[in-house]
Amino acid sequence: MNLRSALAVLAATLGLAAPARAAEPVKIGEINSYSRIPAFTLPYRNGWELAVEQINAKGGVLGGRPLAIIARDDAGTPEQALTAANELVRREGVVMLAGTYLSNVGLAVADYAAKRKVVFLASEPLTDAMVWSHGNAYTFRLRPSTYVQTAILAREAAKLPAKRWATIAPNYEYGQSAVDNFKKLLKAARPDVEFVAEQWPALFKLDAGPTVEALEQAKPDAIFNVTFSSDLSKFVREGTARGLFAKRPVVSLLTGEPDYLVPLGAETPQGWIVTGYPWDAIDTPAHTAFVSAYRARFHEDPRMGSLVGYNMALAAAAALDRAGSTKTPDLMKALAGLSFDSPTGTITFRAADHQSTMGAWVGKTALVNGEGKMVDWRYVDGAEVLPDAATAKKLRPAGKQ
Amino acid sequence: MDFILIQALNGLAGASSLFLVAAGLSLIFGVSRVVNFAHGTVFMVGAYVAWTLIDRLGVNFWLAAPLAACATALLGALIEVGILRRLYAGHELLPLLATFGLVLVAHDVVPLVWGAQDIIGPRAPGLTGAVEILGRRLPSYDLFLICLGPVVLGAMWLVLNRTRFGRIVRAATEDREMAAALGIRQDLLFTAVFMLGCALAGLGGALQLPRETLHHSLDTQVIVSAFVVVVIGGMGSLTGAFVAAAIVAEVSAFGIVVWPQGTLAMLFLIMAAVLVVRPHGLFGRAAQQEPHRPLALPSPPAAGYPRRAALAAAGVAAALLAFGFLGSPFALDLATQALIAVPFAMGLHLLIGWAGAISFGHAAFLGLGAYGAALAFTAGLPLAPAMTAGVLLAGVAGGAFGALVRRMRGVYLAMLTLAFSQLLFAAAFQWVGLTGGDNGILGLWPEPPLDTPMGWYLLTLALVALWLAAVARLYRAPFGFILRAAQDAEARARADALPVDGARVLAFAIAGAGAGLSGALLAFLKGSAFPTLFDIPQSIDGLVMVLLGGIGHPLGPLAGAAAYSLGVAVVSTLTPHWHMVVGGVILLLACAAPGGLLTPKRAGGAR
Amino acid sequence: MTAHLSVRDLRKSYGGMPVLSEVGFDIPQGEIAALIGPNGAGKSTLFSILGGALSADGGSVLLDGAAILGLAPEAVAKRGVGRTFQTSAPYRSLSVIENLLTIAAGGAGFWARLARPLAAWPRQPALAALSEVGLAEMADSPARALSYGDAKRLELAMALARGPALLLMDEPTAGMAPSERAAFMDMVRERSRARGMTVLFTEHDMATVFGFATRILVLDRGRLIADDAPEAIRGDALVRRAYLGSAPVPPTKPL
C-alpha cells in the first residue's frame, strides 16, 4: 500500500472523492476472519486467489472482464464484518458479497445482504440457520452445513453397536446444533441409544484433563466429538494418555480435514469415524490438476479452506456468467439452481433452500508414516443427505423465499 | 471416590501453570503497580520460543524451558526499559494501554514469525506416559506439574525472604515511598521485577507445551484467567496467587461435571463471590491498594466559556450537520460509528476521570443498551420507545451496580466490573431462548427515512449532541465538582457532608445510560446485536479511547473515540495486519503523549 | 453549663491491641479543648471515631444529647460537626472559591445539584467566608497553588462553612511558623466566641495548647489520664510522667 493509495482511501473515507466510476473489473467483496482464524482462512484465501488467476487467464467473466476479489478482515466479530460489508458495497461498489467463517458473522452479513439487496455467497459458515430458519432470498451457502456433516456421521454412528453415547462440543451455536442434530438423527435411526454425558467447553478454552476424566466417568460406549483446532489437539492428547479412546469408537466432526488433522501429526488417533477432506487421495483428473496448481503456486499442500475458497470463486464466476449481468436480481436468479464444475465434481445451489450440494468425505483416521490420513473414505454428495426440496422449503421463513 | 481424587489431581495440574503466570503478574503489580496486559503474550512467546528450540534446534525440552524463561526475561527487560519506564509518572492505566498495544502487535507478528497453523506441543522426554492411580490413568507429566507449583512457590518464598533482593521487593510492595527513602534504585528494581515476572510467565508457557496447542490467540485466553487468579488471591500476594490458582482450577474441574454449560461463567462467578466477601482478595490487604493519583480535571472557566470556544463548537456542529448531507454513504457510516462511540467513551471517562472508578467492563452497559433496545424492538415496540428501553435498562443496571460497588476502588473494582460484564456476556451467550445465543438478534432495521446512512447519521448526531450538552451541564453543576472534590480528598469531602456515594452511584447510572445509548444506536446501525457487544475487547476499546484521548481533559474521550474508531476503520481497509499498525500507533502515542491527544492547559503549580 | 459533647466509655482495639480504653469526657458548649498526649496515645483514632470515619468497639458519643457514634462521616457532619485534617486537604483541582461553593451546593436538592451550574451559585457568602480567613484575594486561584499556611486557612474556612456547632481540628498548626500559629488560633477563638462554637483540637506545640485551650485532655496509651484546666495540667504528675518518661518514638514500619 503506497502513500498515494493510502491518501486516496483517506479522502474517499472522508467523502471527499467523487464516487469511483464503474471500473473494468467485476468486483466481489470478500469478508473473512483473516486475523482471528488465520489457520483456516489463509489457505482459503490462497484457494480463491488461485481460482481468480485461472479465471482471468482464461478471459475473465462476462465476456472478457477480469474478476477481482477485494478481501476484508472481520476480526471475528459481526460488528466489524458489517462495517466491512458496508465499505465494500458502498465504496468499492462490489456486485456481490462472499465469505465469512464464523456462523454469527455469516448470519449478520446475510441479514445485511437482505436489507441492502445484495447477493451474499456464504462460503464457510456451517450453521443451518443460514439457509433455513434465517434463510433469505439473497443468501446462498456453499460449504456443507452442520446438518449435512452430522447427518453423514449419524448414519455411520447408527451402524455401530454402541448404545451409551457421550458428546463433547464447543459451547456455541455450531457445537450446540451439531449435538442436537446428531442426537435427533441417531435416535431416529436407533431408538435404543441413550446419551449419558455431555461436555461443553468454551471455544478454544478446553480444560482437557478434567473434561476427559468427566467423560470417562460416564463410561460411554462411544463418543461424538465436535471440538476442533486447538481444543481437538488437547482432547486427543489427554484422551489418548488417559485411555479414553481405548476400545471406544469415536465419531468426530471435521476431524479429517487437513486443517485439523495435519497438526495432530504422529498423535493422530486411529480409527475415528470422521468427515474431512482426503486431498492427497482424491485422484480424479480435475482434482489432481487443482492440487498440482495449488502446490505450484503456493509451495504448500491444500487444506479444506483452499478447496472452499477455490470453489467460492468458481461459483461466483459461474453465477456472473449465467446471469450475464452484475445486477442483483439477475445474480439471484442465476444462483438459484446454478450448477458448476468444481475439482471434486458438479455442485448445484438448490433453488429450494439456496444450499449447495457440495458434499463431504467420510472415512476413518489412520496413522500413515507418522502423519494423520483419512482412509476407507468415500464422498457423500450433499444432495444425498439434505432434506428434499419441499421439506427444505418449509424450514425457511415464509415470505422471504 | 476415586473419581473425586483423580479430578482433584487434574485440577492441581492445571493450577500449576496458572500459578506461574499469575505469580509474575502479581509480583509486577505489587512492586510497580503496572497492570501488565501483555503478560499472556509473554507466556505465549515463551511457549513458542521453547517450541522453536526443541523442534527446530533440537534442544532438549528440559533445557529449552529454562532457556525460554531467560528469553522472556530479556523480552521483559526490553519492554520495561523501552516502554514502561517512560510511563510511570503518568496515569496508573497508561501501562495498561501500552501493554495492550503490545498485545495487538503480537497478534499479527506471532503468525508472521511462527505461522498461522496450530502447533501441537512437543512432549516432555521421560514423562510421556501415564501412571495408574486407583485404576485410572493420570499423565505422568501432570504429576510433575502438581509438584512444580509448590516448588516454585517455595523457591519464590526463599528468594523473597532470604535474599537482599527479596527484602527490597517486599519493602517496595508494602511501602513504595519508604523503599525510595531507603535509597533503593527504583528503576533497577522495577526492571528486575518485571524481568522476573516475565521469566515466570515464559517458564509457564514453555512448561505448558506438553499440554497445549500453540496458536496466536493463546495470550488472550491466559491473561484473563491469570488476572482473575491474581485478584482472587489478592494483588501482590504469591501465596494468594497459589491458593487462588488451586481454587480456580479445582472449581472448574468439578464444575464441568456438575454444570458442563457453565464453563463461560464459572471463573467470574468465583471471582465475584470472593470479592463480595473479601474486597481485597483472599490474601490481599487494604493497605496495599495503590495510593490514588488524582487526575485533576480542570474547572470550566468561572466566567463562562470564551466566545471563541462557543463559536468553535457551533462551527464543528454545523460542519457535522453539513457532512450529513454531503458525505458519501460509506463515509457517513464510518462517521456514525465514530459518533456512536462518543457516549460510550464519555461514560467510561466519567467513571475513570471524574469518579475515580476504573472499569474493565464498560461493555456490559453497551450490550445492555443494545439488547434492551433489540428485545423491545423485536417484541413489537416502535423505534423510539425501544431505544429508550435500552438506555433505561443500561442506566438502571449502571445505578444498581454502582450502588453495590460504591465503596470499592482500584483494580479490585475494575475486576468486579469485568466480572459483571463477563457474566452478562455468558447470559447473552447461553440464554438462547431470549437472546438467540451467539447467533444474536437480527433484523433490527429502522423504518424509512432512518434506514439510510444519512438518516441514521443525522439521528445519531442529534442524540449524541443532546447527550453531550446534558453531560457538559452535569460537569459544570455541583455533581461534577463533588466527584472531583471526592477524588482530590475523599475524607475531606465526606467531612463536608458532600454526597460522595450518591454522586458515584449517579455517575455509574449516567455512564451506564451513555453506553446504553451507544449500544442502542449501534444495534440499529448494524441491524443486529450479538453477545460480542458484552465482551472484553469492547471494554478495552473504550479504555483505549479514553486513554488515547486524554484522561485529564473533559473533551478527551471525544477525541479518543473519533480517532480510534476512524483509525481502526481506515487502517483495517488498508492492510490485513491492521492490529500491528494500530498497536504500534498506540505504543507511540502512549510514549510520546502520555497525557493523551488532549491535555489540559495548566495555570501553573505542581500536581 | 450542659455538656455539648459527651463521650462515655469509648473503646477501640486493633487486632487485640487496645488503642482506646474507656475514654470518657464532657465538653461544655463554647469551650476550646485541647487533646494532647504522646505519639501513639490514640488521639487520631479518637478523632476518626468522633468524625465517623472509624467505628468504635463500644461506648457512646452524644452531641447535644443525640447519639452520633456509628454514623457515617457525612451524617456526623450534618449533625453540626466540622473538622480539619492533620495533612491539610482542600480540593486541589478546584479554585479556592469553588472549594467553598461546592460545599454550599453539596447540601442543595438533588436536581439543583445536577442542573444548576456551580458558577451560578451565590459567591457573596463564599467570599465573606474567605475574607474571614484572609483569602478573599485568592478566590479564583487554583487551590493547588496555595502556600502551606494558606491551604490550612482554606481548610479552616471549609470546616466552618456549614456553621458547625463543634469543630474538630487535628494538628491545626503543625508546620506553621509561631507567628502564623497564633494568628490562626486567634481566628478560631474569635469564631468560637462569636457563635458559641465548641472546639476540640490536638496539638503538639505546647505554647499553642496552653495559649488557647480553656480545657486540656491528656491521653496516654489509650487512657484519659487528665482532664482539667491548663493551670492544673501544668502541675499534673501523671502528665509529666507520660511526656517525660517515654521519649517520643517515631512510628516504625517493619521491613
Q: What is the CATH number of the domain that holds A365?
A: 3.40.50.2300
The ipTM, to two decimals, is 0.90
Query: Is B258 within the bounds of a domain?
Result: no
- The pLDDT confidence band at residue B289, using thresholds 50, 70 and 90, is very low
Q: Please state, in angstroms and rounded to a whole number, the distance separating the CA atoms of residues C203 and C173.
A: 7
The total number of structural domains in chain A stands at 2
C28-83 pLDDT per residue, tens: 999 999 999 888 888 989 999 999 988 899 999 999 989 999 899 999 999 999 99
Q: Please state, in angstroms and rounded to a whole number, the distance separating the CA atoms of residues B89 and B95.
A: 10
Contact B348, B557 (CB under 8 A): yes
> Which residue segments constitute the domains of chain C, with CATH numbers given?
3-90+147-209+224-245 (3.40.50.300), 93-145 (no CATH)
- Looking at every residue in chain B, the average pLDDT score rounds to 89
> What integer is the mean pLDDT of C199-211?
90
pLDDT at C175 over 90: no
Query: Is B361 within the bounds of a domain?
Result: yes
The pLDDT score that the predictor gives to residue C27 is: 94
Distance from CA of C233 to the nearest CA of B (A): 31
Closest CA to A339 of A309, A305, A314: A314
Whether residues A132 and A216 fall in one domain? no
- The pLDDT confidence band at residue B395, using thresholds 50, 70 and 90, is very high
Q: What is the dihedral of CA C187, C190, C195, C196, to 10 degrees?
A: 110
Distance from CA of B568 to the nearest CA of A (A): 10
Whether residues A190 and A206 fall in one domain? yes
- The pLDDT confidence band at residue B303, using thresholds 50, 70 and 90, is low
pLDDT at A347 over 90: yes
B216, B236, B263 — which closes off a domain?
B216
Query: Is A97 within the bounds of a domain?
Result: yes
Residues of B in contact with A127 (CB under 8 A): 439
Contact C103, C162 (CB under 8 A): yes
What percentage of chain A carries pLDDT values higher than 70? 94
B425-451 pLDDT per residue, tens: 989 988 888 998 888 999 999 998 998
The pLDDT score that the predictor gives to residue B285 is: 72
- The pLDDT confidence band at residue A1, using thresholds 50, 70 and 90, is very low
- The pLDDT confidence band at residue C108, using thresholds 50, 70 and 90, is confident
Check A263 against B117: CB less than 8 A apart: yes
The parent domain of residue A232 ranges over 147-281+360-385
A94-141 pLDDT per residue, tens: 999 999 999 899 999 999 999 999 999 999 999 999 999 999 999 999
> What integer is the mean pLDDT of B200-211?
95
Residue of C nearest to B167 (CA): C255
The pLDDT score that the predictor gives to residue A399 is: 53
The pLDDT score that the predictor gives to residue B30 is: 84
CA geometry: angle C194, C196, C200, nearest 5 deg: 115
Q: A263 CB near a chain B CB, below 8 Å? A: yes
Whether residues B352 and B207 fall in one domain? no
Query: Is A395 within the bounds of a domain?
Result: no
- For residue B28, the one-letter residue type is I
Interface of B with A in 253-282 (CB under 8 A): 253-254, 256-257, 260-261, 263-264
pLDDT at B499 over 50: yes
Whether residues A54 and A129 fall in one domain? yes
Residue C201 belongs to what H/E stretch? strand C198-202
Backbone angles phi, psi at A65, to 5 degrees: -90, 135
Return the residue in C92, C98, C100, C140 with the most chain B beta carbons within 10 A, the one to mutate for interface testing: C92
Query: Is B520 within the bounds of a domain?
Result: yes
- The pLDDT confidence band at residue B293, using thresholds 50, 70 and 90, is low
Whether residues A377 and A241 fall in one domain? yes
Which cell is C127 given? 467570599
| Per-position b or e across B244-270, b if 16+ CB within 10 A of its CB | bbbbbbbebbbbbbeebbbbbbbbbbb
The parent domain of residue B89 ranges over 13-216
Whether residues B348 and B477 fall in one domain? yes
Whether residues A310 and A340 fall in one domain? yes
Backbone angles phi, psi at B314, to 5 degrees: -65, -40
- The pLDDT confidence band at residue A160, using thresholds 50, 70 and 90, is very high
What percentage of chain C carries pLDDT values higher than 70? 93
B508, B536, B564 — which closes off a domain?
B536
Query: Is B569 within the bounds of a domain?
Result: no
A191-247 pLDDT per residue, tens: 999 999 999 998 888 999 999 999 999 999 999 999 998 999 999 999 999 999 998
The pLDDT score that the predictor gives to residue A70 is: 96
Return the residue in A7, A102, A207, A236 with the most chain B beta carbons within 10 A, the one to mutate for interface testing: A207
The pLDDT score that the predictor gives to residue C15 is: 76
Whether residues A123 and A223 fall in one domain? no
Whether residues A341 and A299 fall in one domain? yes
Which cell is B89 given? 509518572
pLDDT at B475 over 80: yes
Return the residue in B113, B118, B325, B525 with the most chain A beta carbons within 10 A, the one to mutate for interface testing: B118
Q: Identify the top-confidence range among B24-38, B366-380, B398-412.
A: B366-380
> What integer is the mean pLDDT of A151-162?
96
Lowest mean pLDDT among A231-240, B4-13, B522-531, C10-19: C10-19
Which cell is B383 given? 423505534
Check A173 against B437: CB less than 8 A apart: yes
Whether residues A11 and A102 fall in one domain? yes
- The pLDDT confidence band at residue C251, using thresholds 50, 70 and 90, is very low
Check B497 against C162: CB less than 8 A apart: yes
The pLDDT score that the predictor gives to residue B291 is: 47
The total number of structural domains in chain B stands at 2
B200, B216, B232 — which closes off a domain?
B216
> What integer is the mean pLDDT of A154-163?
96
Residue A167's CB is within 10 A of a number of other CB atoms, namely 24
> What integer is the mean pLDDT of B171-195?
80
pLDDT at C198 over 50: yes
Contact A273, A252 (CB under 8 A): yes
Residues of A in contact with B438 (CB under 8 A): 103-104, 172-173
Lowest mean pLDDT among A283-292, B286-295, B365-374: B286-295
Residue C205's CB is within 10 A of a number of other CB atoms, namely 17
The pLDDT score that the predictor gives to residue B280 is: 85
Check B299 against C73: CB less than 8 A apart: no
Whether residues A166 and A43 fall in one domain? no
- The pLDDT confidence band at residue A6, using thresholds 50, 70 and 90, is low
What percentage of chain B carries pLDDT values higher than 70? 94
Whether residues A353 and A364 fall in one domain? no
Helix locations, C95-145, DSSP H: 96-106, 110-115, 124-132
Check A39 against B118: CB less than 8 A apart: yes
Whether residues A234 and A274 fall in one domain? yes
The pLDDT score that the predictor gives to residue C230 is: 87
The pLDDT score that the predictor gives to residue B276 is: 84
Residue of B nearest to A244 (CA): B137
pLDDT at B53 over 70: yes
Query: Is B255 within the bounds of a domain?
Result: no
Query: Is A220 within the bounds of a domain?
Result: yes
pLDDT at B549 over 60: yes
Which cell is A309 given? 475458497
- The pLDDT confidence band at residue C247, using thresholds 50, 70 and 90, is very low
Residues of A in contact with B212 (CB under 8 A): 230, 234
Query: Is B278 within the bounds of a domain?
Result: no
DSSP of B177-221, one letter per residue? Answer: HHHHHTT--HHHHHHHHHHHHHHHHHHHHHHHGGG-EE-TTHHHH
Q: Please state, in angstroms and rounded to a whole number, the distance separating the CA atoms of residues A289 and A308.
A: 16
A245-282 pLDDT per residue, tens: 998 999 999 999 999 999 999 999 999 999 999 999 99
Query: Is B8 within the bounds of a domain?
Result: no
Query: Is B325 within the bounds of a domain?
Result: no
- Looking at every residue in chain A, the average pLDDT score rounds to 91
> What integer is the mean pLDDT of B454-466?
96
Option in A207, A230, A265 nearest B256 (CB): A207
Whether residues A71 and A37 fall in one domain? yes
Return the residue in C14, C68, C79, C113 with the most chain B beta carbons within 10 A, the one to mutate for interface testing: C113
Counting as contact any 3 or more CB pairs under 8 A, the partners of A are: B
pLDDT at A401 over 50: no
Contact A113, A45 (CB under 8 A): no
Contact A83, A95 (CB under 8 A): no
* Strand-pair partners of C12: C20
pLDDT at B459 over 70: yes
